[in-house]
Amino acid sequence: MLVLSRKLGEKIYISENICITVVDIDQGKVRLGIEAPRNVPIFRAELLPLQGNPPPPEAPPPTPPAQ
């Protein structure tokens, strides 16, 4: 795990197309703004399944067996 310190208004870039900005810091609570393409799923940890794994990406429908 990479741990970074950021001040209000500072940004963290992940790859070229994901940006996380510290939007607000108030009474021990940090608000983050996340800019990412719509096809990048973003989940809060408490909404993930209990096993801690993110939901699998949608799989294409199975192809019928060759005859």
Query: What is the spatial distance between Cα 36 and Cα 55, in angstroms, rounded to a whole number?
Result: 18
Other beta carbons within 10 angstroms of residue 44's beta carbon come to 6
Helix/strand number for the chain, H first, E second = 0, 3
Q: What is the mean pLDDT of the chain?
A: 85
Q: In the chain, what is the greatest distance between 2 CA atoms, to the nearest angstrom?
A: 66
- Range in 5-9, 23-27, 33-37, 42-46 with the lowest mean pLDDT: 42-46
Whether the pLDDT of residue 13 is over 90: the answer is yes
For residue 46, name the pLDDT band (cuts at 50, 70, 90): confident
| Residues 9-24: b if buried by 16+ CB within 10 A, e if exposed | eeeeeeeeeeebebee
> What is the value of pTM for the model shown?
0.66
